[in-house]
Amino acid sequence: MTVRFILPLLLFFAVSNAQCIKCEALSEALKAPEQVKSLAVNGNLSGEEFDEFPKDVFKLRNIEELYITDYGFYEIPRQIGNLKKIKSLSLAGNSLEVLPDEIFTLTNLTELILSDNLFSDEYIEYIKQTVKEKLPKTRLMID
């Protein structure tokens, strides 16, 4: 009788305390930031509103995929360079005119999505050249 009671109870706690590895909300990801491998939030869909790039993202030290799109951010903090494990980064659909140079130090990056921003044609050429030189394994998607 005791086993029948304890086993479901243990399963309940295991499920209720499990955190996301692939998260769709920053608030959810921050419950266990060291476990998060992927965060995808979209300003049009997520229900989370940010006036500026959320610095709490930098608590996700093991993140490999970060998609933070359609928020209209004008600036990405230099701390983006601290996310050394990141492989895929999308900043599409924002209002970026420049990127912090620290993005070009993310040597594990294999995909960089920057479409639908406010980069000048000259700056787009700079990004393309810099990615080619510093991140040759990175596939770049830009206007």
The tokens for 112 are 């960089």
CA separation for the pair 91, 67 (Å, rounded): 6
Structural domains for the chain = 20-141 (3.80.10.10)
> Mean per-residue pLDDT for 80-92?
97
State the Cα torsion 3-9-14-17 to the nearest 10°.
-160
- Both tokens of 42, joined, read 């979209």
Averaged pLDDT for residues 22-33: 93
**Per-residue pLDDT at 92 exceeds 90:** yes
Mean pLDDT of 7-12: 42
pLDDT of 10 higher than 70: no
**What average pLDDT does this structure show over 72-90?**
97
pLDDT in tens, 117-141: 999 999 999 999 999 999 999 999 9
Residues 6+ apart with CB under 8 A from 86: 63, 64, 65, 66, 106, 108, 109
